[in-house]
Amino acid sequence: MCNPGNGLYTVLYADDIILLAPSVVSLEKLLHNCELELNWLDIVINSKKSFCLRVGPRYDVKCCKVVSSTGKVIPWCNEIRYLGIYIIGSREFKCSLDFAKKSFYRAANAILGKVGRHASEEVILQLVSSKCMPVLLYGLEACPLNKAALNSLDFVINRFFMKLFKSNNIDIVRKCQEEFEFSLPSALLAHWSELFLVKYRHCDNAFCKSLLI
pLDDT surpasses 90 at 4: no
Cα dihedral sign for 109, 117, 125, 186? positive
Residues 144 and 171 in one domain: yes
Residues 103 and 191 in one domain: yes
Query: What was the pLDDT predicted at 73?
Result: 92
Instruction: State yes or no: pLDDT of 5 exceeds 60.
Output: no
Strand partners, 66: 74
The answer, yes or no, to whether residue 206 has pLDDT greater than 80, is no
Mean residue pLDDT of the chain comes to 89
pLDDT for position 200: 81
Same structural domain, 88 and 104: no
Q: What's the one-letter identity of residue 52?
A: C
Give the tens place of pLDDT for each residue, 81-124. Answer: 988 899 999 998 899 999 999 999 999 999 999 887 788 999 99
Q: HSE on the CB side for 50, CA within 13 Å?
A: 18
Q: In whole angstroms, give the CA distance from residue 199 to residue 197.
A: 5
Assess if residue 207 is contained within a domain.
Answer: no
211: in domain = no
pLDDT beyond 90 at 30 = yes
Query: How much is the pLDDT for 127?
Result: 95
Mean pLDDT of 144-155: 94
**Tens-digit pLDDT profile for residues 33-52:** 999 988 888 888 888 889 99
**pLDDT number for residue 1:** 54
- Pairing of the two strands 73-74 and 8-13: unpaired
How far lies 5's CA from each of 8, 9, 12, 213, in Å? 8, 10, 20, 13
- Which amino acid would we find at residue 42? D
Count of CB atoms within 10 A of residue 104's CB? 24
Name the residue range of residue 8's domain: 2-94
Query: Among residues 208, 85, 106, which one has the least CA distance to residue 149?
Result: 85
> Any residues with CB less than 8 A from the CB of 23 and at least 6 apart, and which?
none
Per-residue confidence (pLDDT) for residue 163, from 0 to 100 = 94
Question: Does residue 17 fall inside a structural domain?
Answer: yes
- Whether residues 195 and 106 share a domain: the answer is yes
Residues 84 and 110 in one domain: no
Task: Decide if 9 is inside a domain.
Answer: yes
- pLDDT higher than 90, residue 164: yes
Residue-level pLDDT at 19: 92
The number of folded domains in the chain is 2
State which of 54, 69, 94 marks the end of a domain.
94
- The answer to whether residues 86 and 104 belong to one domain is no
DSSP symbols for 124-167: HHHHIIIIIHHHHHTTGGGS---HHHHHHHHHHHHHHHHHHTT-
